[in-house]
Amino acid sequence: MPVIQTEELTKRFPATTALDRLSIEVEPGVVGLVGANGAGKSTLIKILLGLSPATSGRASVFGLDVTEDGPQIRERVGYMPEHDCLPGDVSATEFVVHMARMSGLPPDAARERTADILRHVGLYEERYRPIGGYSTGMKQRVKLAQALVHDPEIVMLDEPTNGLDPVGRDDMLLLIRRIWAEFGITVLVTSHLLGELERISDHVVVIDGGTLLRSSSTSEFTRTSQTLLIEVSAEADAVAATLTSAGLTVKRDGAQLVLPLDDDEVYDLVRDAVAAEGVGLIRLEQGRHHISEIFGEDQGGVGR
Amino acid sequence: MTEQPSGVIHDIGYRKYDGPRLGRARVTRALYAHSLRGAYGLGRSARAKVLPMLLLGVMALPAFIIAVITNVTSDITGGLPLPYSRYVMVTMPILAIFLAAQAPASLSRDLRFKTVPLYFSRPMERSDYVLAKYGALATAVFLLLTLPLLIMYVGALLAELPAGEQTGDLLLALLGAAVFAVVFAGIGLVIASLTPRRGFGVAAIITVLALSFAAVSALQGIIRYEVGDADLAGWLGLLSPATLVDGFQTWVLDASSSSVAPPPGAAGGVVYVLVTFAVIGACWALLNLRYRKVAVS
Amino acid sequence: MSPSVLSVDTVSRWYGNVVAVNDVTMTIGPGITGLLGPNGAGKSTLIGMLAGFLAPSAGSVTLDGVTVWKNPDVYRTIGLVPEREAAYDFLTGWQFVLANAELHGLSDPGAAAKRALATVEMEFAQGRKVGEYSKGMRQRVKMASALVHDPAVLLLDEPFNGMDPRQRLHLMDLLRQMGADGRTVLFSSHILEEVEQLAQQIEVMVAGRHAASGDFREIRRLMTDRPHQYVIRSSDDRGLASALIADGSTAGVQLDDSVLSVEAVSFLRFTELLPRVARDAGIRLYEVSPTDESLESVFSYLVKS
Amino acid sequence: MNGTVVRLTYRALLGGRRAWLLLLMSVVLLAMAVLLRLTVGVDHQVTADFLGAVSVAALVPLFGLIVGTGVIGPEIDDGSIVYLLSKPISRPRIILSKLAVAATGTVLFAAVPTFVAGLVMSGTADRIALGFGVAALVASVAYSAIFLLLSVVTRHAVVYGLAYALIWEGLLGSFVPGARTLSVQQWSLSLTEAITTRDLVSSDVRLAVAGVLLAVVIVGATWYAGQRLRVLSLAGEE
């Protein structure tokens, strides 16, 4: 059974239509939700939490209707908002225990699970200090911990990597992957960095202007293309010329050369061309499609 | 037969939770308890405890003095120097400061740190949040008002004042204190819910309470004594929370009035009662209205 | 557009005992400069000092030779896009930009505001309140307010934060245009790819120190020119492995199910060796991927150097 | 002064509901004055007691606090002040513009109603209305300047301001005579004392001293606020 299901879900505001007859199904796993700002991502999350009524259409979570069973749904859902939501004057431990209680856990369970979950998200000694002094990365971990402490069946993460630097981003992505792989909790995650979603999602749903643009598995989005990418340490032009004279159409893309991969002979041509030039072969990979392509724009490396 | 292993590595990985989930009502109760403790700084930083504890002490001090005096002078006077039901009015500034400090700490803080969405994405409904916060602050105020009354009561019993009479008076005063607590907590919370800035909340609550009390008392005094119109002075008492509830307990609970003028007659009494309940109802409605509109993300 | 140059000369800034910026010297001239570094590296503090909002604890910050601190006149030349989102939410986009134009004392603030809003393509929403804008729209109207007096210098603190892919592209185009006009554009970011796409010149901050400076590609090459983890798939992994071990440029070679992991000691030597060895042994290379290109390792490399 | 700063400040301060709330409080003061006039008739001592207790001691300082901190505090708090500071305008001039709005607001919502209330209750007799009106006017400016400075100096301006107005002027002022010498309330009352021709009010501070102190406080606070804004550090979030 799908975890989340919407049928012809529509949400209109006086000025805009945030969701326009959206029908999606989300199966267990890590599911990426993509859309421009204002594309209706947050609206969708609010409707799924039973916090905002839809204009028309239906939505259900675990088969429970969002308009009727809000509290039951929210008992089994975790939510990590995009914006800051942490009081600065209490410690992570105290805050997360309180939030566990607010999800209906008895006091003892709340304490034990808080200790566990803070360890799982990677907060150690700092958990007894007031949150106000935390770095962005630590705050994101606390936000994640409060969304997981009551062992939800699905957790909705709104831009969990926003504002994180590369180190923090890698940690967070790893953590999100673990939430599904180790904890067995389905993750619905939004991000502006499409490359991130390619790395962590099993399935990606793309919303644009409130309607479904595409919903398919990540492997489908990023299937290999019949191209070969190479990067050499120097003399890229000379290598390109050699390959061109061998009958290949070589395109230059920044530091990389892109050539069609019509048959396996191409691999040997490349190897020999590079070896003949006496330069280094830094990279040789089969090209892949990217989620960004469906926006019809080249996202380049932004969302690596 | 295999040997019994002497060492074992336990799995400390993620654990599923299959214990009870307590549902809306118990969540609301947990928030109530948390907020009530928070009003006295319990479970918060040491700095958060200073003011409420100090105020509790300051509140209790006069009661303690009264208890001592009673024991010294009871042979002569045969009663408490100050009736239970007047204690709240006499110590009104302390109540106002407590409210101005703790109502914003309860609501403005959640607004400022944007924690409200975290509550609303959990099993409780918005009205549960309001109920828990309102109940907690009203209880906190009630406790603040109750402690000195109990001290006086103990003092009175030690002074061997008639126990039955004292108990009756105390119970009536406690009932009055409860009404004070509910009305004042409601007004404080409504104001606090409008601003995420604690400073403004504090200033606004003090302004409303102090200004209304000062203005109404001044007017009542002038009209009652300079004009000699006790009825009109009595009606004016409806216009500030302190004089309103004082009038309520004067009329309903037969307490001794601390206001310049008590409610005028039976009609006045009934109006006082109605207005008191209307104020409580309005606070409840306004808070719910306010939180229906708080954005979640 | 007469070119303007910002100079940072042996600048430090500390808060109590915490040093946010530590003895930094750099010159920022026309074109786009990216200020790169992890969170907490001191980027915002540096921009604060460049914008005249923070006094350097030591050293000096000057704009074309004039001290920036306590000198409101520099704002005739500087346009600033702050990181914080707060703007005058109760104003419409138009009123907000117009007010900024008036505050600059421009002779025709209306025309300036109109031009600035057109530059960021926000005319369609100029009648709506700033408080109702999405993040991307806010960022654009903030940009318009910074451009309204046609400044020679533009400072942007984390301008891409919270923007969706389309908004990012749009802002990048805008900044490129600014750079092409000969303006001095400095923006901070902790995302290497953003900087890569936009800036010719980068300044890298790590833990308050000025870790690297110069042409982007040059630095990138310096960063990648070091021991590397490689993953290789080939037609004969075992044969390739033994051929590689025979050479000294690999520290470790590991073979597990159809993937060959190599740790190269001399990066350049290894990459040159690989195609040659493969060719000579007649082994077909299907994939050669560097695996430790993560920014984490790049930054830690910079800290150590 | 800068017209745009004034306009922005004015809109931030009085835009939306806030103006109505402030106006409501002024109207309440006038309503009480009318009520007293209708019930008590003309009694100058009543006028003096009422205006002294409700207007000068409560309304004016509280309005001064709300308005004085409101013109700049929120902007510093949320960081939007950068849009003013990143302009070729001297910082003291920004302060002056803000003070103009704060003082005008306090005068309009507190001092003018005080004067009108005085007229309603006592007419022009013995210059009572004028005396209290002038006192409220001068106090409005002084409180605005003090609380404006306070919000440039500290983020907890409202709390400290309340402590000054309630505890120093209100509580200590009524028990400790010394506290009264350093009280805007007493200084302005000495103006009332000097203006009214009947002996209704008494201030602990002599007129000359009060005048000098008021001038020093207003000018000094404004100047210092300008200096503090010049060195106001807007740190990043790190």
- Does C1 map to a domain? no
With touching defined as 3+ CB pairs under 8 A, do chains B and D touch?
Answer: yes
Buried b vs exposed e over A144-169: b needs ≥16 C-beta within 10 Å? bbbbbbbbbbbbbbbbbbbbbbbbbb
DSSP B161: -
What was the pLDDT predicted at A299?
A: 42
Q: What is the pLDDT of residues D60-93, one digit of tens each?
A: 998 899 899 989 988 888 888 999 999 999 999 9
Cβ <8 Å between D235 and C45: yes
Identify the H or E element spanning C212: strand C209-215
Average pLDDT over residues B242-248: 92
Instruction: Tell whether D176 is within 8 A of chain B (Cβ).
Output: no
Q: Which two tokens stand for residue B100?
A: 């101005």
Rg (CA), chain A: 23
Q: Does pLDDT of C295 surpass 60? A: no
Instruction: Tell whether B37 is within 8 A of chain A (Cβ).
Output: no
Average pLDDT over residues B278-283: 97
Q: Does pLDDT of B71 surpass 90? A: no
Mutate to test the interface with B, among D39, D56, D72, D78 (most CBs of B within 10 A): D39
Query: Token match 């609501």: residue?
Result: B107
Mean pLDDT, chain C, whole residue set: 85
C-alpha angle C101/C102/C103, rounded to 5°? 90
Q: What is the pLDDT of residues B140-183, one digit of tens each?
A: 999 999 999 999 999 999 988 889 999 999 999 999 999 999 99
- C160 and C252: one domain? no
**Alpha-carbon gap, residue A205 to B212, rounded angstroms:** 57
Q: What is the pLDDT of residues C199-254, one digit of tens each?
A: 878 898 888 889 888 877 667 666 655 557 788 888 888 888 888 888 777 777 88
Residue at a domain's end among C202, C223, C244 = C223
Residue of A nearest to C228 (CA): A282
Cβ <8 Å between C54 and D88: no
Domain containing residue C34: CATH number: 3.40.50.300
The CATH number corresponding to A4-221 among 3.40.50.300, 3.20.20.70, 3.30.360.10, 3.30.460.10 equals 3.40.50.300
Backbone angles phi, psi at A214, to 5 degrees: -165, 145
Q: Which two tokens stand for residue A257?
A: 């050369």
Asked if A176 contacts A146 with a C-beta cutoff of 8 angstroms, the reply is no
Cβ <8 Å between B223 and D54: no
Structural domain harbouring D133: 3-230
Instruction: Name the pLDDT band for D217 (thresholds 50, 70, 90).
Output: very high
Contacting chains of D (3 CB pairs or more, <8 Å) are B, C
What was the pLDDT predicted at A148?
A: 96
Buried b vs exposed e over B233-258: b needs ≥16 C-beta within 10 Å? bbbbbbbbbbbbbbbbbbbbbebebb
Locate the domains of chain A by residue range. Answer: 4-221, 224-288
Rg (CA), chain B: 24
- C206 and C122: one domain? yes
In percent, the amount of chain B with pLDDT more than 90 equals: 51
**Alpha-carbon gap, residue A94 to C191, rounded angstroms:** 33
Average pLDDT over residues C46-69: 93
What was the pLDDT predicted at D236?
A: 43
- Does D190 map to a domain? yes
Residue at a domain's end among C223, C251, C285 = C223
- C40 and C136: one domain? yes
Taking contacts as CB-CB distances below 8 angstroms, the residues of chain A near C224 are 282
In chain A, the DSSP E strands lie at 4-12, 17-22, 25-26, 30-34, 56-61, 64-65, 77-80, 154-158, 186-190, 203-208, 211-217, 224-232, 251-253, 256-260, 281-288
Total of domains in chain D: 1
Asked if D150 contacts D161 with a C-beta cutoff of 8 angstroms, the reply is yes
What was the pLDDT predicted at C100?
A: 95
DSSP C129: B
Q: What is the pLDDT of residues C58-80, one digit of tens each?
A: 999 999 999 999 999 999 999 99
Q: Does pLDDT of D21 surpass 90? A: no
Q: What is the pLDDT of residues B14-31, one digit of tens each?
A: 889 999 999 899 999 999
Instruction: Tell whether B115 is within 8 A of chain A (Cβ).
Output: yes
- C199 and C272: one domain? no
Total of domains in chain C: 2
Taking contacts as CB-CB distances below 8 angstroms, the residues of chain C near D88 are 72-76, 104-105
What was the pLDDT predicted at B295?
A: 66
Which positions of chain A have pLDDT values less than 50? 298-304
Identify the H or E element spanning A267: helix A265-277
Contacting chains of B (3 CB pairs or more, <8 Å) are A, D
The CATH number corresponding to A224-288 among 3.30.70.980, 2.60.120.380, 3.30.360.10, 3.30.300.30 equals 3.30.70.980
Residue of D nearest to C21 (CA): D238
Instruction: Tell whether A109 is within 8 A of chain B (Cβ).
Output: yes
Rg (CA), chain D: 18
Choose the closest CB to D162 out of B206, B222, B226. B206
What was the pLDDT predicted at D237?
A: 40
Q: What is the pLDDT of residues D91-136, one digit of tens each?
A: 999 999 999 999 999 999 999 999 999 999 998 888 999 999 999 9
Structural domain harbouring C146: 6-223
Question: Starting at the edge strand that comes first in sequence, how are the strands of the sheet with A211-217 ordered?
Answer: A77-80, A154-158, A186-190, A30-34, A203-208, A211-217
Q: What is the ipTM of this complex?
A: 0.80
Residue at a domain's end among C191, C206, C223 = C223
With touching defined as 3+ CB pairs under 8 A, do chains C and B touch?
Answer: no
**Alpha-carbon gap, residue A129 to A93, rounded angstroms:** 9
